[in-house]
Chains A and B, each alone.
Chain A
Amino acid sequence: MLKDITLGQYFPGESVVHRLDPRTKLLFLIVYIVALFTASSWISYGVVFLFLATAIAISRIPLKSIVRGMKPLMMILIFTAILNLFFTGGDTVLAKFWVITITKEGLFRAIFMVLRILLLITCTFLLTYTTSPISLTDGLESLLSPLKKIRVPVHELAMMMCIALRFVPTLIEETDKIMCAQKARGADFESGNIFHRVKALVPILVPLFISSFRRADELATAMECRCYHGGEGRTKMKLLRYKRRDYLAFLAAILLLTGVIVLVNFGL
């Protein structure tokens, strides 16, 4: 059951999208989100959608995996749709029963909100699917490095993220082991009401925490042994360098944003 967690899942590949600099992809995502939130009409949404569809086609990420990633978000989507549908005021009433009124404005608002969330999540999926976690943290570190001047511990944050990602599978494996060990001692995780089940998790969490602290201690010693002394004077094996494809991607992102702004201003 724990094996299904797809945190920061990455599909290795050789497409142009995969080979883009992680910084480009992050900036691209920001511009895309701004464009998405500026869009307010069918045509502007259509432009954003076409844009995203092209990017997915270039990346050769199978649509199936994107759809699968969406499944856990179904509840949020339905919830958003219902809220917007029932609680948006408007003039053109489409249906009315009991205390609930559905208006034309509400219907459109619900559709747009769901579309917005879908387009937003799909693009972030595209980012995590095509970028390895380590280059993602590298990209973040490099993008945020100006913040070092105001004493934001950028390197430390990136290092923490990298280690956290590294230990996700290790800790999942360990949780599985502890669960088996507790089951062998007669622990029951499957029956009872929600409170019983939460209570049953305590004998898993306690050993997991203790062993995590021990791991952290050993890892810190091992890192010190390998001369880790913070970000100062540290070099990188893989240097990030903008190439022509990165500039092209920037150009595309700016075109998208200006396009959407122009469309919205003309009321389309």
Chain B
Amino acid sequence: MAVALSVEHLAYRYPGVEEKPDVVVFEDLNLTVEEGSFVAVLGGNGCGKSTLAKHFNSILLPSGGKVYVCGLDTADEEKLISIRRRVGMVFQNPDNQIVANVVEEDVAFGPENLGVASPMIRKRVDEALQQVGMFEYRKHAPHLLSGGQKQRVAIAGVIAMEPKCIILDEPTAMLDPRGRQEVMETVLRLNKEKGITVVLITHHMDEAAQAQRVIVLHKGKVTADGTPAEVFSQVEKLHEIGLAAPETVELCWELNKQGFDLPLGQLTPEQCAKTIFESL
């Protein structure tokens, strides 16, 4: 399978302010994301999740090493627009990424910047809004929408640019459970139906469990990488770096401490209940 994103020996440091030393985030990070996959990136606060996300979009440039997006070097300034049209970003606060005061005008913002012809923009905007299920709200003012709806508008704004890849930087952190579910369903559907590569940065374990692959970052290094079942069965390792496994896995793990012998890869409550039932 083709590689969508690749990080080679990435080093990055935030410059120190007033004689304070630089803050080293990455020293030698290596990572590849395959085209069409759904990858969740987990990690505690300050592990470099958001810094990594900003590298995929040339918002930050590596201090050392290389980041490639669909084979394009992010440090190459001439390719900036080509990179950004391939990689869409969705941020945490939906209010601070909506530009216009009508939903459809906001979705049109990206394609307008790319210089797409007017009738084509109309088509892209309508399609994008339909894909996120916000078509009926196209004439609304963004500040009257709920958090989940705003975030879906932000996602529509990104897919109207027809990207190969979407990076979501904790898109659900400011949402209520219902909004979180709306956003997750939208993202999963886009990945499945349109084959868009998704990198989801999150600290919700249940969201990460829905991905095909989970990468755990700790102090700028990849500490675990694999399918959700593989990663989450390493419960002790996750605890060590201040993370928790999904509740189902935690339950099986606690039971094992009491003398059971359950496998730890159960991610849904149904699977978990079945495993426990069978072992009784």
Instruction: Write the residues of chain A forming the contact surface with B, with a CB cutoff of 8 angstroms.
Output: 12, 132-134, 162-163, 165-166, 169-170, 173, 215, 218-219, 221-229, 233-239
Q: Pick the residue among A219, A222, A235 that contacts B89 (CB under 8 A).
A: A222
Q: With an 8 A cutoff between CB atoms, is B255 at the interface?
A: no
Contact B113 A225 (CB under 8 A): no
Task: State A170–B161 Cα separation when bound (angstroms).
Answer: 26
Contact B105 A134 (CB under 8 A): yes
Task: State A257–B93 Cα separation when bound (angstroms).
Answer: 51
Task: State A173–B158 Cα separation when bound (angstroms).
Answer: 26
14 residue pairs A–B, Cβ–Cβ below 8 Å? A134-B101, A166-B99, A166-B101, A169-B143, A218-B91, A218-B93, A222-B97, A223-B99, A226-B88, A226-B157, A226-B158, A227-B85, A229-B81, A236-B118
* Interface of chain B: mostly helix, strand, loop or mixed: helix
**Closest residue of A by beta carbon distance from B82:** A227
Contact A133 B101 (CB under 8 A): yes
Contact B115 A233 (CB under 8 A): yes
Q: Pick the residue among B57, B122, B139, B141 that contacts A225 (CB under 8 A).
A: B57
B5 CB to nearest chain A CB (Å): 15
Q: With an 8 A cutoff between CB atoms, is B121 at the interface?
A: yes
**Closest residue of A by beta carbon distance from B124:** A237
Q: With an 8 A cutoff between CB atoms, is B95 at the interface?
A: yes
Task: State A132–B104 Cα separation when bound (angstroms).
Answer: 13
* Interface of chain A: mostly helix, strand, loop or mixed: helix
- Which 4 A-B residue pairings sit nearest by Cβ, starting from the closest? A222-B97, A218-B96, A237-B108, A225-B89
Contacts of A237 in B (CB 8 A): 104-105, 108, 111-112, 118, 121-122, 125
Q: Pick the residue among A12, A218, A235 that contacts B115 (CB under 8 A).
A: A235
Contact B141 A228 (CB under 8 A): no
Task: State A38–B76 Cα separation when bound (angstroms).
Answer: 60
Q: With an 8 A cutoff between CB atoms, is B137 at the interface?
A: no
Q: Pick the residue among B96, B110, B115 that contacts A226 (CB under 8 A).
A: B110
Contact A227 B101 (CB under 8 A): no
Knowing A132-B102, A237-B105 are in contact, say whether A224-B121 is a contact too (CB < 8 A): no
**Closest residue of B by beta carbon distance from A211:** B96
Q: Which of A165, A226, A233, A234 counts the most B-chain CB atoms under 10 A from its CB?
A: A226
Q: With an 8 A cutoff between CB atoms, is B23 at the interface?
A: no
Contacts of B122 in A (CB 8 A): 237
Contacts of B81 in A (CB 8 A): 227, 229
Q: Pick the residue among A12, A166, A170, A233 that contacts B100 (CB under 8 A).
A: A166
**Closest residue of A by beta carbon distance from B143:** A169
Q: What mask results when residues 262 to 280 of chain B are scored 1 for a CB within 8 Å of chain A, else 0? A: 0000000000000000000
Task: State A166–B113 Cα separation when bound (angstroms).
Answer: 18
Contacts of B93 in A (CB 8 A): 218
Knowing A162-B101, A237-B108 are in contact, say whether A222-B143 is a contact too (CB < 8 A): no
Q: Pick the residue among B101, B102, B108, B113 that contacts A229 (CB under 8 A).
A: B113
Contact A238 B110 (CB under 8 A): no
**Closest residue of B by beta carbon distance from A163:** B99
Task: State A222–B99 Cα separation when bound (angstroms).
Answer: 9
Q: Pick the residue among B84, B97, B104 that contacts A227 (CB under 8 A).
A: B84
Contacts of B139 in A (CB 8 A): 12
Contacts of B84 in A (CB 8 A): 224-227
Knowing A166-B100, A224-B59, A226-B161 are in contact, say whether A234-B105 is a contact too (CB < 8 A): no
Contact B109 A170 (CB under 8 A): no
A209 CB to nearest chain B CB (Å): 16
Task: State A227–B82 Cα separation when bound (angstroms).
Answer: 9
Contacts of A166 in B (CB 8 A): 98-101, 142
Q: Which of B96, B105, B122 counts the most A-chain CB atoms under 10 A from its CB?
A: B96
Knowing A225-B57, A226-B110, A235-B121 are in contact, say whether A219-B100 is a contact too (CB < 8 A): no
Q: Pick the residue among B101, B112, B142 that contacts A234 (CB under 8 A).
A: B112
Task: State A237–B102 Cα separation when bound (angstroms).
Answer: 13
Q: With an 8 A cutoff between CB atoms, is B173 at the interface?
A: no
A221 CB to nearest chain B CB (Å): 6
Task: State A162–B91 Cα separation when bound (angstroms).
Answer: 21
Task: State A79–B223 Cα separation when bound (angstroms).
Answer: 73
Contacts of B17 in A (CB 8 A): none
**Sample of 11 more A-B contacts, CB < 8 Å, known A162-B100, A226-B99:** A134-B100, A134-B101, A166-B142, A221-B91, A222-B99, A225-B88, A226-B88, A237-B111, A237-B118, A237-B121, A237-B122
Contact B118 A235 (CB under 8 A): yes
Contacts of A221 in B (CB 8 A): 59, 91
Contact B121 A222 (CB under 8 A): no
Contacts of B141 in A (CB 8 A): 169
Q: What mask results when residues 149 to 192 of chain B are scored 1 for a CB within 8 Å of chain A, else 0? A: 00000000110010000000000000000000000000000000
Task: State A114–B57 Cα separation when bound (angstroms).
Answer: 58
B41 CB to nearest chain A CB (Å): 18
Q: With an 8 A cutoff between CB atoms, is B116 at the interface?
A: yes
Task: State A56–B125 Cα separation when bound (angstroms).
Answer: 34
Contact B59 A219 (CB under 8 A): no
Task: State A219–B157 Cα separation when bound (angstroms).
Answer: 14
